[in-house]
């Protein structure tokens, strides 16, 4: 009979992160964990990551240490107009489709949820293209919700200040229209999203592993991009199932290009490789 081996500190840490965030960290990620936690190890004057993790797991570090670890462990890569065909589909197809239905039902507000928003580039890209559609005469109102597990990313998203290098993927006319510069030296090389778009875009903490989400159940479109890849099969399925419950009938779910095969749900019909519509 094979005896179960005692879990190592690393195993227990990976298990903790999985249970808190859904993020699967295979043992091959040990070097990445080491690198990302280095600052914390130094901050506590500990000899190595192992010693730091032992203290963390024993509950010997301050209470706000765990959210910091989650901030460091999550991969927050994002950009404006990432997978830009989604934004073409949003204004070219989803918006007219949903507005026609909304008018028939006497509703006016278009609701979009960026369900792993990172520092807000996805939500504000949507805000820019929706605002452009409004400028061109489509009479509608919209509200955008961005949620994420990382407190640090949510702080950045709420501040809505981006470095010039991050604006290289934004068309020039949209940079002029939707980003503001200030003379303040602290804003050198940076620009801030205009108040009109910020007023329509809220960010808040939401862990996709939670059993239920305090979000409206008639959302027109959910962007769930480049986050399912970090979860294991059961969690992926459960997250999609919970989110499906928040999409209005006829509304849409968009996932990242690496994630199209993950979505299998009786109520979600695939209309394009990464785009699903709720029946």
Ligand X SMILES: C[S@@+](CC[C@H](N)C(=O)[O-])C[C@H]1O[C@@H](n2cnc3c(N)ncnc32)[C@H](O)[C@@H]1O
Residues that bind ligand X in the complex, under the rule CB under 6 A:
21-23, 74-78, 82, 116, 118, 122, 148-150, 153, 207-209, 225-227, 230, 256
In the residue annotation, 198 being an active-site residue is answered as no
* Active-site option among 36, 38, 107, 134: 36
Smallest distance from the beta carbon of 78 to ligand X, in angstroms?
Answer: 3
* Active-site option among 40, 82, 148, 235: 148
Smallest distance from the beta carbon of 4 to ligand X, in angstroms?
Answer: 28
The CA–CA distances, whole Å, from 244 to 6, 152, 268 equal 39, 27, 8
Smallest distance from the beta carbon of 207 to ligand X, in angstroms?
Answer: 5
β-strand partners of 148: 205
In the residue annotation, 18 being an active-site residue is answered as no
CA distance 35 to 73: 10
Smallest distance from the beta carbon of 5 to ligand X, in angstroms?
Answer: 28
Are 277 and 268 within 8 A, CB to CB?
A: yes
**Between 40 and 156, CB nearer to ligand X:** 156
CA distance 75 to 23: 10
Q: Which of 10-19 are b and which e, b meaning 16 or more Cβ less than 10 Å from the residue's Cβ?
A: beebbeebbe
Are 248 and 109 within 8 A, CB to CB?
A: no
List active site positions.
36, 148
């Amino acid at each position: 009979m094979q005896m179960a081996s005692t879990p190592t500190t690393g195993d227990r840490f990976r298990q903790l992160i999985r249970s808190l965030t859904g993020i699967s960290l295979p043992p091959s990620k040990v070097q990445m964990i080491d690198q990302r936690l280095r600052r914390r190890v130094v901050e506590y004057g500990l000899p190595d990551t192992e010693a730091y993790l032992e203290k963390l797991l024993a509950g010997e570090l301050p209470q706000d240490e765990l959210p910091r670890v989650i901030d460091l462990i999550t991969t927050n890569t994002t950009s404006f107009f990432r997978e830009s065909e989604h934004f073409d589909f949003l204004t070219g197809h989803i918006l007219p489709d949903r507005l026609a239905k909304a008018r028939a039902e006497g509703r006016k507000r278009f609701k979009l949820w960026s369900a792993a928003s990172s520092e807000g580039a996805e939500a504000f890209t949507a805000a820019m293209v929706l605002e452009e559609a409004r400028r061109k005469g489509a009479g509608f109102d919209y509200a955008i919700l961005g949620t994420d597990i990382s407190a640090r990313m949510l702080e950045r998203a709420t501040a809505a200040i981006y470095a010039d290098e991050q604006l290289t993927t934004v068309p020039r006319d949209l940079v002029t229209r939707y980003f503001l510069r200030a003379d303040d030296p602290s804003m050198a090389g940076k620009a801030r999203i205009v108040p009109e778009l910020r007023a329509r875009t809220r960010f808040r903490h939401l862990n996709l592993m939670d059993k239920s989400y305090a979000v409206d159940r008639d959302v027109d479109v959910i962007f769930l991009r480049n986050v399912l890849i970090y979860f294991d099969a059961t969690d992926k399925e459960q997250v999609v199932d919970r989110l499906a419950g928040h999409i209005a009938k006829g509304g849409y779910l968009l996932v990242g290009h690496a994630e199209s095969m993950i979505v299998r749900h009786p109520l979600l019909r695939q209309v394009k490789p990464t785009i699903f519509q709720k029946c």
